[in-house]
Chains A and B, each alone.
Chain A
Amino acid sequence: MSRYRISGKGRVDHAAPVSFTFDGKTYRGLRGDTVASALLANGVHLMGRSFKYHRPRGAVTAGSEEPNALIGTSRGPGRFEPNTRATVQELRAGLVTESQNKWPSLSFDLGAVNDRAYMLFSAGFYYKTFMWPKSFWDKVYEPVIRGAAGLGRSPTEPDPDHYASRYLHTDVLIVGAGPAGIAAALAAAQSGADVTLVDENPEMGGSLLSDPGVAIDGRPAWDWIDAQLGRLRAAGVRLMTRTTAIGYYHQNMVGLCQRLTDHLDSPPKGAPRERMWRVRASQVVLAQGALEKPLVFDGNDRPGVMLAGAAQTYLHKYGVRVGDAPAVVTSHDSAWYAAFDLADSGAKVAAIIDTRATVRPDLLDAARQRGIEVLAGHTVTTTTGRLRVKSLRAAAVRGGTVSGGRTIPCDCLLMCGGWTPSLHLFSHTKGSLAWDADGGTFLPDRKTEAVEIAGAGRGLWGYDPVLADGAAAGLRALQGLGRAGHPAAFRVANDRPGTGTSHTELPTDGNPGKARAFVDFQNDVTAKDIRLAVREGMRSIEHVKRYTTNGMATDQGKMSNINGLMIAADALGKQPPQVGLTTFRPPYTPTSFGAFCGYLRGETFQLTRKTPIDPWAEANGAVFEPVAQWRRAWYFPKAGEDMHTAVLRECKATRASLGIFDASTLGKIEVAGPDAVEFMNRMYTNPWTKLQPGRCRYGLLLGEDGFIRDDGVIGRLSPDLFHVTTTTGGAARVLTMMEDYLQTEWPDLDVWLTSTTEQWATVALNGPNVLAMLKPLVQDVDWDDFPHMSCAECTVAGLPARLFRLSFTGEIGFEVNVPARHGLTLWETLMEAGKPFDICPYGTETMHVLRAEKGYIIVGQDTDGTVTPQDAGLDWAIGKAKKDFVGKRSLSRPDIVAKGRKQLVGLLTEDGSLLQEGAQIVLDPDQPKPMRMVGHVTSSYPSTMGHPIAMAVIEGGFDRMGETVFIPMPDGVRRARITSTVFYDPDNARLKA
Chain B
Amino acid sequence: MLLIHCPYCDDTLPELEFAYAGEAHIARPADPSALTDEEWRDFLFIRTNARGPHYERWRHIGCGRLFNALRDTVSDRFLTTYKAGEARRPLTNEAAE
Nearest to B35 among chain A residues (CB) is A889
Bitwise, B57-80 to A at CB < 8 A (1) or not (0) is 101000011100000000111000
**Interface segment, one of A43-51, A181-189, A248-256, A586-594:** A248-256
Given contacts A250-B2, A888-B32, A894-B37, contact A705 B44 (CB under 8 A): yes
Bitwise, A881-895 to B at CB < 8 A (1) or not (0) is 001100011100110
| A707 shortest CB reach to chain B, Å | 11
| B64 shortest CB reach to chain A, Å | 6
Assess whether A739 is in contact with B64, with CB atoms less than 8 Å apart.
yes
Bitwise, A407-430 to B at CB < 8 A (1) or not (0) is 000000000000000000000001
Choose one: A249, A430, A744; the contact of B66 (CB below 8 Å).
Answer: A744
Assess whether A883 is in contact with B2, with CB atoms less than 8 Å apart.
no
User: A448: which B residues are within 8 A, CB to CB?
Assistant: 75
Assess whether B66 is in contact with A250, with CB atoms less than 8 Å apart.
no
Assess whether B1 is in contact with A253, with CB atoms less than 8 Å apart.
yes
A278 adjacent to chain B (CB < 8 Å): yes
Tell me the bound Cα distance from A250 to B76 in angstroms.
8
Choose one: B1, B27, B65, B84; the contact of A249 (CB below 8 Å).
Answer: B1
- Give the number of chain A interface residues (Cβ < 8 Å): 25
| B74 shortest CB reach to chain A, Å | 9
A747 adjacent to chain B (CB < 8 Å): yes
A740 adjacent to chain B (CB < 8 Å): yes
Nearest to A429 among chain B residues (CB) is B75
Assess whether B75 is in contact with A893, with CB atoms less than 8 Å apart.
no
Tell me the bound Cα distance from A744 to B28 in angstroms.
9
User: A741: which B residues are within 8 A, CB to CB?
Assistant: 28
B9 adjacent to chain A (CB < 8 Å): no
Choose one: A743, A884, A893; the contact of B31 (CB below 8 Å).
Answer: A884
Assess whether B40 is in contact with A889, with CB atoms less than 8 Å apart.
yes
| A881 shortest CB reach to chain B, Å | 13
Assess whether B44 is in contact with A884, with CB atoms less than 8 Å apart.
no
Q: Which of A280, A704, A743 has the most CB of B within 10 A?
A: A743
Bitwise, A739-762 to B at CB < 8 A (1) or not (0) is 111011101000000000000000
Tell me the bound Cα distance from A251 to B37 in angstroms.
44
Choose one: B3, B40, B64, B85; the contact of A251 (CB below 8 Å).
Answer: B3
Tell me the bound Cα distance from A251 to B12 in angstroms.
12
Q: Which of A249, A747, A884, A889 has the most CB of B within 10 A?
A: A889
A736 adjacent to chain B (CB < 8 Å): yes
Assess whether B75 is in contact with A251, with CB atoms less than 8 Å apart.
no
Assess whether A884 is in contact with B33, with CB atoms less than 8 Å apart.
yes
Segment 1-58 of B: residues with Cβ below 8 Å from A: 1-3, 21, 27-28, 31-33, 35, 37, 40-41, 44, 57
Assess whether B33 is in contact with A883, with CB atoms less than 8 Å apart.
yes
Nearest to A741 among chain B residues (CB) is B28
User: B75: which A residues are within 8 A, CB to CB?
Assistant: 430, 448
Assess whether A740 is in contact with B1, with CB atoms less than 8 Å apart.
no
Tell me the bound Cα distance from A982 to B40 in angstroms.
35
Nearest to B15 among chain A residues (CB) is A250
Given contacts A430-B75, A889-B33, contact A747 B1 (CB under 8 A): no
Assess whether B84 is in contact with A704, with CB atoms less than 8 Å apart.
no
User: A430: which B residues are within 8 A, CB to CB?
Assistant: 75
| B17 shortest CB reach to chain A, Å | 14
Assess whether A743 is in contact with B3, with CB atoms less than 8 Å apart.
no
User: A893: which B residues are within 8 A, CB to CB?
Assistant: 37, 40-41
User: B2: which A residues are within 8 A, CB to CB?
Assistant: 250-251
Given contacts A250-B1, A448-B75, A704-B44, contact A744 B57 (CB under 8 A): yes
Tell me the bound Cα distance from A383 to B94 in angstroms.
57
Nearest to A703 among chain B residues (CB) is B44
User: A744: which B residues are within 8 A, CB to CB?
Assistant: 57, 66, 84-85
Tell me the bound Cα distance from A52 to B87 in angstroms.
61
Given contacts A249-B1, A448-B75, A894-B37, contact A884 B32 (CB under 8 A): yes
| A737 shortest CB reach to chain B, Å | 10
Tell me the bound Cα distance from A743 to B60 in angstroms.
13
Assess whether B66 is in contact with A743, with CB atoms less than 8 Å apart.
yes
Given contacts A884-B31, A893-B41, contact A736 B85 (CB under 8 A): no
Choose one: B27, B41, B44, B65; the contact of A743 (CB below 8 Å).
Answer: B65
Nearest to B31 among chain A residues (CB) is A884
Nearest to A744 among chain B residues (CB) is B84
Choose one: A278, A740, A747, A890; the contact of B40 (CB below 8 Å).
Answer: A890
Tell me the bound Cα distance from A741 to B57 in angstroms.
13
Bitwise, A50-78 to B at CB < 8 A (1) or not (0) is 00000000000000000000000000000
Tell me the bound Cα distance from A280 to B3 in angstroms.
10
Tell me the bound Cα distance from A250 to B57 in angstroms.
20
| A959 shortest CB reach to chain B, Å | 25
| B79 shortest CB reach to chain A, Å | 13
Q: Which of A280, A743, A744, A890 has the most CB of B within 10 A?
A: A744
User: B77: which A residues are within 8 A, CB to CB?
Assistant: 250
User: B44: which A residues are within 8 A, CB to CB?
Assistant: 704-705, 890
User: A894: which B residues are within 8 A, CB to CB?
Assistant: 37
Nearest to B32 among chain A residues (CB) is A889
User: B64: which A residues are within 8 A, CB to CB?
Assistant: 739
Tell me the bound Cα distance from A280 to B32 in angstroms.
47
| A868 shortest CB reach to chain B, Å | 14
User: A704: which B residues are within 8 A, CB to CB?
Assistant: 28, 44
Tell me the bound Cα distance from A844 to B50 in angstroms.
46
Nearest to B1 among chain A residues (CB) is A253
Nearest to B19 among chain A residues (CB) is A736
User: B41: which A residues are within 8 A, CB to CB?
Assistant: 893
Nearest to A255 among chain B residues (CB) is B1
Assess whether A736 is in contact with B59, with CB atoms less than 8 Å apart.
yes
Tell me the bound Cα distance from A890 to B32 in angstroms.
9
Given contacts A253-B1, A430-B75, A739-B64, contact A747 B85 (CB under 8 A): yes
Tell me the bound Cα distance from A278 to B1 in angstroms.
10
Closest 7 CB pairs of A and B: A889-B32, A745-B28, A250-B2, A744-B84, A251-B3, A743-B66, A253-B1
Between A and B, 27 residue pairs with Cβ closer than 8 Å are A249-B1, A251-B2, A251-B3, A280-B3, A430-B75, A448-B75, A704-B28, A740-B21, A740-B66, A743-B65, A743-B84, A744-B66, A744-B84, A744-B85, A745-B28, A747-B85, A883-B33, A884-B31, A884-B32, A884-B33, A888-B32, A889-B32, A889-B33, A889-B40, A890-B40, A893-B37, A894-B37
Q: Which B residues are closer than 8 A to A by beta carbons?
A: 1-3, 21, 27-28, 31-33, 35, 37, 40-41, 44, 57, 59, 64-66, 75-77, 84-85
Q: A250-B1, A743-B84, A893-B40 are in contact. List 12 more A-B contacts (CB 8 A).
A: A249-B1, A250-B2, A251-B3, A736-B59, A744-B84, A745-B27, A747-B85, A884-B32, A888-B32, A890-B44, A893-B37, A894-B37
